Amino acid sequence: MEKNPLNIGIVGLGTVGIGVVDFLTTNKDLITLRAGREIRISGICAKRKNKKRELNLSRFRWISDPLTLSNEQGIDVVVELIGGQNDPAKSIIEKSLLNKKHVVTANKALIAHHGHYLAILAEEQKVSLNFEAAVAGGIPIVKILKESLSGNDISRVYGVINGTCNYILTQMENHEQDYSKIFRDAQNLGFVEKDPSLDVGGIDSAHKISIIAALAFGSRINFDNVKIKGIESISLIDITSASAMGYRIKLLGLANKSTAGISQVVEPCLVPKESLFGKLDGGTNMVMVEGNFVEKTHYIGLGAGAGPTASSIVSDLIDIARGNISSSFGQRASELEISQHVSEDLSSSFYLRFLLTDKPGTLAKLAGILGKYGISINHMRQLRHQGENAPVLIVTHPTAKISLTSAIKEISKIEICKSDPVYIRIEDL
């Protein structure tokens, strides 16, 4: 066993930072045995030293400036847990790498936007940039893609990778309450980011699917080409109607590779109730990977929280303690190229909801526009009137998304349409 400890500095002492301290303290002997050496906290740093926290941190050395911590000669690894895609997190990581310190981070936004540059910097300095905790909490999907499935030609990765959205959609269904009420409850419970669009707007899932796609397909991260649609437009009508048809609504991140290029999408989808995705409740995440030899494999677990996230961070620390220094994305970052982006346009059935004026000829006009774009109606249902208007639900036969969006755009402009139409892909996963 190595006599010299691995000395780490932790920047950020929120829920996850405190979770890491607790994890390293509680499982100290086991971690030392597995790592082959002690992993020692040699410095901690946060915005406020005297803030009341769940653990007594007085036994650890306080460093007031995170950039000073990045310079400390006695620290081997900087654990960045303050978040945010730019400074101060970016400068802390950049300076740590330039000082030949390993970095472990849970910062998916920063990796999605600056991961390629930082990975090249880590390679030049011959240190690690590890980010297992940035995607899917306690699910070790980064290591699975970098190591366990690295020999497979992976064609598709997809999953439920935002626990907040899954919680909101589950609660809407279980309590038969509309989005606005459940969203406020989730905010009060602290489940929603300060900027709600990161969660319910799909941006958090987009950060994660761009990282997963880069790892799976051996390409450079391309967050800007993720097509993003959140759950804000999902209503209780959609939840109950999906349930009546044997489906549940989930926010999915989907990435596909073909000979033409790579598509990356985040959007709500209807999935069969009895499917693996349909059975996911609350904050649980699941990622499915399709490879040419392994076929389909899936990974399920808690996607957030102090314990699961700390578990992934400590896993990265143990790798470094063992001397396992590998490329951040499974191959040299300097060799990764941005793949050709292609629009995700696999033929699918869609669920459509319209609020229409209830007068003669309305349905005929609607069906006529859909038919103009080659969209065939599988079945149609009209719900109880809302004054002079009526919600109309349609399920289409398989159609190209580009055709559907063109039809929706035209329908939304005519006088019979009284609110923005809602369309949701049906994925028979």
- Token pair 């990764």 is found at 336
- Annotation says 100 is catalytic: no
Cβ count within 10 A of residue 4: 9
| Structure token digits, residue 149 | 């499935």
Helix locations, 103-257, DSSP H:
108-125, 141-143, 163-175, 179-188, 203-217, 236-244
Q: How many helices (H) and strands (E) does the chain have?
A: 13, 15
> Residue-wise over 335-351: b if at least 16 C-beta within 10 A, else e?
ebeebebbebeeebbbb
Name residue 296's beta-bridge partners. Answer: 290
Instruction: From the candidates 95, 108, 208, 257, give the one annotated as an active-site residue.
Output: 208
Sign of the Cα torsion 68, 123, 222, 130 reads: negative
> Residue-wise over 170-188: b if at least 16 C-beta within 10 A, else e?
bbbbeeeeebeebbebbee
Sign of the Cα torsion 332, 96, 113, 19 reads: positive
> Minimal CA–CA distance to 136: which of 263, 280, 21, 283?
283
DSSP secondary structure of 327-365: -TTSS-GGG--PPPB------BEEEEEEEEE-STTHHHH
> Minimal CA–CA distance to 8: which of 35, 30, 33, 34?
35
Round to whole Å and give the CA distance between 9 and 154. Answer: 36
Peptide bond between residue 391 and the one before it cis (omega within 30 degrees of 0): no
Spatial CB neighbours of 73, under 8 Å, sequence gap ≥ 6: none
**Active site positions, annotated:** 208
